[in-house]
């Protein structure tokens, strides 16, 4: 009887703690409810911005207000949405074609050294304003072989020039910006996570980049936030 009571007590405590497991505590704003290991996480991989030219951060940052992806999934929690803006617009003309958008077809690079573990390269690009619910669309997953994995998503159909199993180095061209998947206009979705599965419930990780400019101010190591213009050194 004593052992049965102990078993029931253990089960009760487990059920109470289950809703506030380490993944579920990553829901706070400004890190107030985050575990310290993630609220203060320092990226292991030497990352650089995965594009040329100056880009604009539509969604970026560790808070709900800046991040936007906080409410979507745990692995996308610290994701970046980036595009190119000129004269406060992301496109020329009427914006009805992907080719109107400044970032469409732009070169994308490996943000860090690693191994390509998965790609999708066959999904059609959306017409701007019409969203295909294939989630990440065309993507590249790079395992940095240190517990961190980069995912670049919504790429242009047929633009990926690396294959599964390839070793890539930081700055190497790997594909082009597109408008595939759950995307209403051409842009780059990038996030760092602790597993190499693309649609997993793994944990997203804050991603710090090295040696770039934030609003024309040089930083040696930082994380872009929403509303910033960023470019490589």
Residue 30: both structure tokens together = 């400004």
- Tell me the torsion sign for CA atoms 145, 52, 174, 69: positive
The full length of the chain comes to 233
pLDDT by residue (tens digit) across 139-149? 999 999 999 99
Q: Which long-range contacts (CB under 8 A, 24 or more apart) does 219-225 make?
A: 223/60, 223/61, 223/62, 224/57, 224/60, 224/61, 224/80, 224/82, 225/57, 225/60, 225/61, 225/66
pLDDT by residue (tens digit) across 72-112? 567 788 899 999 999 999 999 999 999 999 999 999 999 99
Q: Which pLDDT value is given to residue 7?
A: 34
For residue 71, the 8-state DSSP code is: G
Beta bridge partners of 193: 149, 204
pTM for the whole structure: 0.82
Residue 154: CA count within 13 A, CB half-sphere: 29
Contact 74, 21 (CB under 8 A): no
Portion of the chain with pLDDT greater than 70, in percent: 76
pLDDT by residue (tens digit) across 56-81? 999 998 776 655 555 556 778 889 99
- Tell me the torsion sign for CA atoms 144, 199, 74, 219: positive
Average pLDDT of 127-139? 87
What are the DSSP calls for 114-158, one per residue? EEEEEEE--PPPPPTT----STT-EEEEEE-SSS-EEEEEEEPTT
Look at 62 and 150; give whichever has higher pLDDT: 150
Portion of the chain with pLDDT greater than 90, in percent: 65
> Residues 6 or more apart from 39 whose CB is under 8 A from it?
31, 62
Contact 144, 123 (CB under 8 A): no
- Tell me the torsion sign for CA atoms 74, 76, 79, 83: negative
Phi, psi of 149 (to 5 degrees): -135, 135
């Amino acid at each position: 009887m004593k052992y049965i009571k102990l078993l029931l007590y253990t089960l009760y405590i487990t059920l109470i703690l289950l809703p506030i497991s380490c993944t579920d505590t990553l829901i706070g704003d400004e890190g107030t409810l985050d575990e310290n290991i993630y609220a203060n996480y320092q990226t292991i991989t030497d990352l650089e911005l995965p594009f040329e030219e100056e880009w604009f951060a539509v969604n970026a940052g560790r808070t709900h207000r800046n991040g936007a992806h906080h409410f979507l999934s745990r692995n996308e929690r610290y994701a970046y949405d980036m595009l190119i803006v000129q004269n406060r617009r992301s496109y020329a003309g009427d914006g009805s074609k992907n080719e109107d958008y400044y970032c469409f077809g732009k070169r994308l690079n490996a943000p860090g050294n690693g191994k390509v573990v998965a790609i999708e390269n066959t999904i059609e690009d959306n017409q701007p304003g019409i969203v295909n619910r294939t989630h990440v669309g065309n993507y590249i997953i790079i395992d940095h072989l240190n517990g961190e994995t980069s995912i670049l998503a919504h790429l242009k159909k047929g633009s990926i020039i690396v294959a599964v199993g390839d070793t890539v180095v930081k700055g190497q061209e790997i594909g082009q910006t597109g408008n595939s998947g759950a995307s209403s206009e051409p842009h780059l979705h990038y996030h760092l996570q602790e597993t190499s599965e693309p649609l997993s419930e793994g944990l997203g990780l804050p991603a710090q980049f090295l040696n770039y400019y934030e609003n024309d101010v040089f930083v040696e190591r930082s994380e872009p936030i929403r509303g910033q213009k960023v470019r490589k050194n």
